[in-house]
Chains A and B, each alone.
Chain A
Amino acid sequence: MHHQIVRRAGAERETAWVLLASAAIIACAVAAVGLRPAPPPEPVAAAHQIDSRTGLTSAEQGLHADLKVAGAEIAALLRETGAAPKPAELAAQALPPFARDTSATARGSHAWTLAEAGHGVAYAGVSAAPELAGSMVLVLDTHGKDHAEPQVWLKRAAEAPPPGLDEKTLAAAGWKQVTATFTAGVTR
């Protein structure tokens, strides 16, 4: 006698395969997301630092950029002549922010003086309008082996920096070191 088992009409097996496939896809996705490296943590600014992009007024941002240029130029002049140029000499060369022009007036009319710092020279600019731009100091390390990057410090008050001009004294007196970070294009 011939027996044949006929399965009843239904889609259980197909459903099971589809569910299995879905589970596999979800598992893959979870694994991919889980294993993807997390973005590098944002560098956290120290308490005595301030970010030039987000922490400064527009006048301070302009001054900071100019001081970076001036730092490089002063370092070159130091190498050539061996003496630190006076602010008046830099102003005569039209080097911002030392030059007495409309821009200097619009950005707080800083009065610049040359000061001896612990390991080099510094240029202190006392602001006449701290609400526009705070007082600033450009510190150049001339004794280091490889002439460190010029540093720019800021305090939102019309006051001169404390003598000594090293990191600790400046930070203790409420000055903030201006930092700048490079961010590559987001669509690169």
Chain B
Amino acid sequence: MTSDTMNGTTMNRRRFLAAAAATGLVGAAGGARAAVPQRFGVTLHPYYSYVANVVGNLAEVVPIIPSGFNPHAYEPRPEDILRIGSLDAIVLNGIGHDDFAGRMIAASSKPALPVVEANADVPLLPAAGSAARASGKVVNPHTFLSITGAVLQVATIARELGRLDPANAESYAANARAYSRRLRLLRADALGKLASAGDARLRVATIHGAYDYLLREFGLEVAAVVEPAHGIEPSPAQLAETIRTMRALDVQVIFSELNFPSAYVDTIRRETGIRLYAFSHIAHGDYAADLFEREMTRNMDTLVQAMLEAKP
């Protein structure tokens, strides 16, 4: 054994002991550490689906926000922070949709909890809205609302979780590839239905700047975003301006969001006569491994329907 490997072994043992001490496992579990399934935390619904499909039954996926809370309006609660103390790692969106998590981890009993940055490898798009675009610093955090974004994140998650849990790394990688292939086929199915649409060049507006990644997969570009940010309804003057803009841009389709208070969406539809469809933000309902696939199928069906109906 070379001195390098010996040093490495000592380092690993030290690290292991430190980790075991932190989780209160010294003595209790000792060498049986590998047999205990790891607990990986997630913040948002799609990430539950990703991690659940990557780990299968080899680890436990723990949502730190109880289902029923809207992540856009979530305020950390003590019991949720407490739950972080029981995790081995946490998977984050990290680019603006779960920024509360960093502060929760810092306040938890495990401030040094390993964090998996799911978006580390995703080519990010700028955030919607003129202020964000001008600074260039703010990115659109909704990478999870697209197939390509999901596949890239699933690969990163599998790789990083494999590093943290080397015994299962190969299974994680294989699961991730099988899941990605399934996701890819969902998209191929949707595009197959569009084959008859010919060269449908749609001009699209969205009520919420969440769907750029999804629309880009279909070669569509968002011409306008009506709502400047989540939960901020436009003033009457902004609404009038938006309606003028949409008329000028000759937008054919507006994508709204399911479960959205739509008094002003109705106004836009009435005033412009533009067709309106609703996407799912995948932020509601119970956490489930197949939630992402179900909701994305529905989203892509909606998109296909919109493109077919807009066909001249």
Residues of chain A at the chain B interface (Cβ within 8 Å): 52-54, 58-59, 61-62, 64-66, 68-69, 72-73, 76, 93-96, 99, 101-103, 105-107, 178, 180-188
B194 touches which of A52, A102, A178 (Cβ 8 Å)? A102
- Find out whether the CB atom of B151 lies under 8 angstroms from the CB atom of A69: yes
Given the known interface contacts A53-B124, A185-B97, the answer about A106 and B201 at a Cβ–Cβ threshold of 8 Å is yes
* Tally of contact residues, B, Cβ under 8 A: 48
**A76–B125 CB distance below 8 A:** no
In the complex, which of the residues B121, B155, B219 has the most CB atoms of chain A within 10 Å of its own CB atom? Answer: B219
| Min CB–CB distance A80 → chain B (angstroms) | 10
A77 to chain B, nearest CB (A): 10
- Kindly state whether residue B294 has any CB partner on chain A within 8 Å: no
Q: Are B137 and A186 in contact (CB under 8 A)?
A: yes
Interface centre among A65, A101, A182, A183 (most CB of B within 10 A): A65
Does the CB pair B191–A187 fall under 8 Å?
A: no
Please determine whether B218 and A103 come into contact, CB atoms closer than 8 angstroms. yes
Chain A, residue nearest B133 (CB)? A54
Complex A-B, nearest 4 residue pairs according to Cβ-Cβ distance, in ascending order? A106-B219, A94-B188, A185-B96, A101-B191
B residues contacting A by CB (< 8 A) are 93-99, 102, 117, 119-126, 136-139, 141, 148-149, 151-152, 155, 177, 180, 184-185, 187-188, 191-192, 194-195, 197, 199-201, 213, 216-221
Report A40 CB to chain B, min CB distance, Å.
13
**Contact across chains for B99 and A183 when beta carbons are under 8 A apart:** no
Q: Do residues B194 and A53 form an inter-chain contact, with CB atoms below 8 A?
A: no
Distance A179 CA – B194 CA, assembled complex (angstroms): 31
Query: Which residues of chain B come closer than 8 Å to A59, judged between CB atoms?
Result: 216, 219, 221
Point out the residue from A53, A62, A94 that lies within 8 Å of B139, measured CB to CB.
A53
